[in-house]
Structure 1
Amino acid sequence: MRLSTKIMAGLGVLTLAATAAGCGKPASSGDSGGSGSSSSKSISACMVLDTGGVDDHSFNQASWAGLQAASKANSSIKSSYVSSNSQNDYTPNLTTETNKGCDTVIAVGGLMSDAVKKVAKANPKQHYAEIDSSSSGSNVYGLQYNTAQGGFLGGYLAAGMSKTGTVATYGGLNIPPVTIYMDGFWEGVQYYNKQKNKSVKVLGWDETKPKAGTFAQSFTDQNKGKAITQAFEQQGADVVFPVAGGTGLGSGAAAEASGGKLMLIWVDTDGCESASQYCKYFLSSVTKGLTKSTQEYAEAAAKGSFPSGNYVGTLKNGGTGLAPYHDWESKIPSDLQSEIKQVASGIEDGSITITSQSQPTS
């Protein structure tokens, strides 16, 4: 049985207890109507994307896929999105969607938290949801993901597959939704070293020295991603974990240019689905349950009352994990695959402790 079958099975049982209905005007860009049937009242669910576009092969794309899935499953949900070209667009976009009469406005990305808090406070009767941030008010639903858990598995996998004894990771920006992955990856390597009496090095991040990490300062600059990855390769790394959205596609280009010397682990989504051109370089992907949790939020909202408070995705509920090994299924030693399953069980039952300060607390 593949690792992902166990870890991701929880996706099918994620539940959002609270539900609601409303009636509003859908935003005009990126409209997606559904074909399913439901007795729910019609609602408009409007998404404000972060920078990088709807086809960023990462968090924007996965979040929008969840809203599209909700519309397909329930024709009463009318979904739409608007893109942000820069952080200056956050407040105007959120305000515009609110004024259009959207029943719920879903913000994608923790960088939008200040803007969501401000707009939500000014519109207390409007429902909001924010991905990668905790709730900032009674009318804001927070969707968070403890991806340090999935990152831990990715780090253990990287350490176990490295032939040079050096692996690496880098981020788009030095923010908690990014560094939580890097913390988990780093801790996973340290745990492997302790269990195996090895000394695999991690370039680009040290959880104990958070100001010294490697960051592209972008989620879209593929050239920067390629340059960072090639610099890691020159320092001996043979497995790289980019936590940088579309910038990480540059790591795919670097792996391709390496002639097979570099292996990668993708982030947020299953890279063999979202960036299939580089699938043969992906050992696996550390996933974030964006699509499923977004879909369930919208479906819950259409049925009764809008969810409030916070959702936290974990290994146990399928909110994070490892994707299938795809092309590497037969190349990753069976012993290593078994060990990763055991590590996952240890994280779930609490016998393995993750110390990342970026982990959601609620």
Structure 2
Amino acid sequence: MPGCRAMAPPLGCAPMAAPAWVADRRADRRTAGDPWTARPRGRSGIDAVGGGNMRTRSLALALMAGLAIVVSACSSPASPGAGGGKTLKIGMVTDVGTLDDKSFNEASWKGTQDGASQTGSPAPQNIVTKTPADYGPNIQSFVDQKYDVIVTVGFALGDATLKAATANPTVKFIGVDQFICVPKDANDKTCAGAPPANYQGIIFKEQQAGYLVGIVAGTLTKSKVIGAVGGINTVPPVVAYIKGYENGAHSVDPNIKVLEQYVSTDITKAFNDPTTGKAIAQQ
């Protein structure tokens, strides 16, 4: 593609061979002796450290950087934006919940807005997902409106985003908390296939922030019993954070008991039911 520069990652400019650390992560195993959590493997993308408020800032900055890369890597003399690059129509599809959730969706939206502003692109638009059945249609809505960049928020949107990116190679996709797994063939379980060049995942070291919180909890507890409430245990980042929390507490005192409970097995309720979360925490 004309105008593409050797930036990392050159989203949509040229396919990239997976580096060694990505291949290692695809082994889908835990690393023995990892002091943070023995983090579950099997995700690849831009890594951003953080959890809680730290993760919120990290997420916003990672999205802003990703959008800046999209603009600058494939510059065009037409429709000049910041730095003389092309301005982009940018849309964001949330996970199930609300846009002002004081957490994941809101942080992603803030990053998307900042990214658009910093690159001189028009204000982005968003679609708030009401049910998982709407993931695909919501993404397609932006495709049909000729959007240049579509940000999708959350692990659960990974399959729908991969499908859309494969079907629309001229549209750039940024997936938050999304490992891009493309099997090489029907028997491949290690994600050895090449991901679409127009699709970039952003992932985080959730276990590190969880570990630090675990140290605080382990230091403050007098009963030697602490708790963790997660949304759902089928989303790897949630499990990674809680395992980091557990290991952080045990680094203070191996005898501390960590009670873990998840809000729901239904993804439509797991991150959208503060009443149940509060009830669990108050047990």
Q: TM-score, normalised by structure 1?
A: 0.51
**1:1-21 Cα deviation digits (max 9, x unpaired):** xxx9xx99x969976667234
**1:147-197 Cα deviation digits (max 9, x unpaired):** 101111111111111122111002111110211111111111121215xxx
Match of 1:140 in 2: 199
Q: Rate the CA distance shift 1:148–1:48 in 2: closer, same or farther, 3 A.
A: same
Which secondary structure does the structure 1 equivalent of 2:109 belong to?
A: helix
1:139 is displaced (CA, Å) by: 1.5
How many residues were matched structurally? 202
Match of 2:259 in 1: 203
- 1:214 pairs, out of 262, 265, 269, with 262
Written as runs of structure 1 = structure 2, the 5 A alignment for 1:38-77 is: 38-77=83-122
1:80 is displaced (CA, Å) by: 1.2
Match of 1:93 in 2: 138
Q: Rate the CA distance shift 1:48–1:13 in 2: closer, same or farther, 3 A.
A: closer
Q: Rate the CA distance shift 1:81–1:22 in 2: closer, same or farther, 3 A.
A: farther
Match of 1:165 in 2: 224
Amino acid across the alignment from 2:264: A
Which secondary structure does the structure 2 equivalent of 1:133 belong to?
A: coil
Which secondary structure does the structure 1 equivalent of 2:232 belong to?
A: coil
Q: Which runs of 5+ in 1 are unaligned?
A: 24-35, 205-212, 232-362
Match of 1:20 in 2: 74
Which secondary structure does the structure 1 equivalent of 2:237 belong to?
A: helix
CA distance, structure 2, for counterparts of residue 130 and residue 115 of structure 1: 10
Which secondary structure does the structure 2 equivalent of 1:41 belong to?
A: coil
Matched, 1:153 2:225: no
CA distance, structure 1, for counterparts of residue 198 and residue 218 of structure 2: 43
- 2:250 pairs, out of 174, 190, 208, with 190
Written as runs of structure 1 = structure 2, the 5 A alignment for 1:1-362 is: 19-21=73-75, 38-135=83-180, 136-174=195-233, 175-194=235-254, 199-204=255-260, 213-217=261-265, 218-231=270-283
CA contact (8 A) 2:155 2:178 kept: yes
Amino acid across the alignment from 1:20: C
Amino acid across the alignment from 2:200: Y
CA RMSD of aligned residues (A): 2.9
Which secondary structure does the structure 1 equivalent of 2:282 belong to?
A: helix
Which structure has more RCO (C-alpha within 8 Å, separation ≥ 6)?
Answer: 1
Q: Which runs of 5+ in 2 are unaligned?
A: 1-50, 181-194
CA distance, structure 2, for counterparts of residue 21 and residue 76 of structure 1: 13
1:72 is displaced (CA, Å) by: 3.3
CA contact (8 A) 1:43 1:78 kept: no
